Amino acid sequence: MQPPASEIKQQRIVELRQLLQKASYAYYVLDDPIMEDAVYDQLYRELQQLESQYPQFITPDSPTQRVGEKPATQFSSVRHNVPLYSLENAFNIDELKVWQERWKRHAPKVESAEYVCELKIDGSALALTYENGILVRGATRGDGIVGEDITQNVRTIRAIPLRLNLENPPSRVEVRGEAFLPLEVFQQINQERRDAGEQLFANPRNAAAGTLRQLDSRIVAQRRLDFFAYTLHIPGMDDASIARTQWEALELLQNMGFRVNPNRELCPSIQEVAAYYKYWDTERLNLPYMTDGVVVKINSFALQEQLGFTQKFPRWAIALKYPAEEAPTRVENIAVNVGRTGALTPLAEMRPVELAGTTVSRATLHNSDRVAQLDIRVGDTVIVRKAGEIIPEVVRVLKELRPDNTVPFQMPTYCPVCSQPVIRPEGEAVTRCVNASCPAILKGAIEHWVSRDAMDINGMGEKLVQQLVHRALVQSVADLYDLTATQLQSLERMGKKSAEKLVVAIAHSKLQPWSRVLYGLGIRHVGSVNAQTLTQHFPTVEKLAAATPEDIAAVYGIGAEIAQSVHQWFRIPANQVLIKRLQTAGLQLAQEITTSAVEASLLSGKTFVITGTLPTLKRDEAKALIQNAGGKVTESVSKKTDYVVVGEAAGSKLEKAQQLGVTCLSEAELLGLLKDVNG
């Protein structure tokens, strides 16, 4: 008996998908096309027609599903299943050798190691998640812990497989790589923008990042992003069962259907790494994409695991960068900045100069040793560059152009802010102010506390912090939680409404998790990633404060230096007083409430609708707060709605809530309710 027509069509749909996926793999990964473009287009159109006739057979991994039909309204934040660590930078072979000596100190029994060299692509990092072989999520790097869900845009990149090229894929695979724009495409995009009178992209990296954040995936598809994969992680499987080395991992990625950079090289020693770096210094100019350096990784996964991580970087990898763009300019003044740790940093104030797409007028001189090494003086002509294409720094002084009567610069012996004596601890290159009451230290501590990665207090800018410190309204971060709208109104450019909004924003920061509070405390060597790691192992401030340096150092990714710094911080009486004040103010000094606690909370099973523009919270932030407290957020108001959170320009949802008698809350009332729920 002949099978039903629908079954025959379904078999043809499956066959077409397999043919097209095989053709994409050959074209994008193997660089060895197996069919003409016209044939591919014909098969693709046939698949489109069949799927339109039988939409019940459409699957997410179909080649026709690469471009979404409707633009996204916004991107949601997502937490990475595996953190994306950044890499430490080296700018020459000598610094590379210093890195090798450093990792060897952590593995004294290892005499030598192989290295894998890969070109560092100038693009935008992506985190891809596959479940049972199907792409389910694509996210930006973000801060390494949380990124933005841009799955709809990622699906448009043809070098990223929608289905892994494996017969029996693991239940979950995490893939990391770099999305980038080929130079030809970049130039074409800028020409189109020039013709349309639009602002040009500064470089391919900015263009790639901007493309990935387009809300309309059809625009992303038109820009023809490319992608190289460079690492993977398969939860629940030990490395030996996946791949024992980085080189094997790259081959596995290619077999899975990804493009990996064809110019990678396995180097048996640091000398071969240096030769690879030197070769590509000039040869990279012939590549069809931008590269700004070489990523060097220890090949052995076992040795990688042994070396672990510092507070920011893996010890087993480094980015060996090529010299950045340089430009000459004139030093007009040398100032000294005092940071939140009391460090005195000399800064060269220069005649503005264009550098790597931006205007530069200030450059760090790091410390007194660097000043002495450069012998930099006011009036000098200097060469300035962007270290890692981010931070401006002075490379060298053109002494042959030095004017007469210049004088060597001397670091101050007294703090330029509080006028107290400064010290330079033995064995350190940094000169420090050790006056705990120094306004610059206090100002830096508060700016760090209110920053986006810490307590994220919206509206608390640098000038406002400066006024609070200058008028002695705050003498520690705990004082922020005692501020009133009346006090804030007394400050410059602070009206009644702005003051009230800021009080609400400060109160809202009490809901930030324990990890952000720990990072905000500004403990030396504790970055945002380390704070996440520490709070997972020490779920309350009491447990962390009571931990020994050995307890802390035993945490994977936390070294002895960080452990000692954390331990010493909690031994200082003033810091113990600060913790007690923050507890009294109601900040979260313990891990988030558990699922069982959420289910038992007052908001469990409650339904919310958010309408209008809230004073300080973005809609996603308000939604996350409600969901974390056990509530549910929907889009429409009905008899089943328990609360409507109302902002400015609320519209019809507010009217319907009033008609149905649904309780309406302001943002302040919502935060008060959440505070009650969290105790």
543 is in an annotated binding site: no
Burial call 415-450: b when 16+ CB within 10 Å, e when fewer: bebbeeebebeeeeebbbbebeebbbbbbbbbbbbb
Is 167 annotated as belonging to a binding site?
no
Going by C-alpha positions, the residue among 57, 215, 77, 67 that lies closest to residue 628 is: 77
Helix 37-53 and helix 5-24: axis angle, to 10°?
150
Alpha-helical runs (H) found in 26-91: 37-53
Q: Phi, psi at residue 433, to the nearest 5°?
A: -90, 130
- Which positions ≥6 away from 424 have C-beta within 8 Å? 368, 430, 431, 432
Residues in CB range of 391: below 8 A, 6 or more apart: 364
> Is 438 known to sit in a ligand binding site?
yes
Q: Which of 451, 613, 440, 597 is nearest to 517 (CA)?
A: 451
Quick check: 662 and 641 in contact, CB under 8 A?
Answer: yes
Is 117 part of any known ligand binding site? no
267 is annotated as contributing to ligand binding:
no
Asked whether residue 87 is marked as a ligand-binding residue, the answer is yes
Of the candidates 288, 231, 29, the residue with the CA atom closest to the CA atom of residue 116: 231
Annotated catalytic residue 120: yes
- Number of helices followed by number of strands (H, E) in the chain: 26, 22
Q: Is 118 annotated as a binding residue?
A: yes
| Residue 158, helix vs strand vs coil | coil
347 is an annotated ligand-binding site residue: no
Helices 462-470 + 439-450 axis angle, to 10: 140
Give the angle 78-82-88 at the CA atoms, nearest 5°.
Answer: 110
Find out whether 61 is annotated in a ligand binding site: no
Q: Which of 104, 120, 496, 656 is catalytic?
A: 120
Q: Is 44 annotated as a binding residue?
A: no
504 labelled ligand-binding: no
Q: Is 599 annotated as a binding residue?
A: no
Mode of pairing for the β-strands spanning 317-321 and 89-90: parallel
Interhelix angle 270-283/93-106, rounded to 10 degrees, is 150
The answer to the question of whether 143 is labelled as a binding residue is no
Q: Is 418 annotated as a binding-site member? A: yes
**How many whole angstroms separate alpha carbon 291 and alpha carbon 338?**
36
Is 272 annotated among the ligand-binding residues?
A: no
Judge whether 264 is annotated as a binding position. Answer: no
**Residues catalogued as catalytic:** 120
Residue set of the binding site for Zn(2+): 415, 418, 433, 438
Residue set of the binding site for NAD(+): 37-41, 86-87, 118, 141, 178, 297, 321
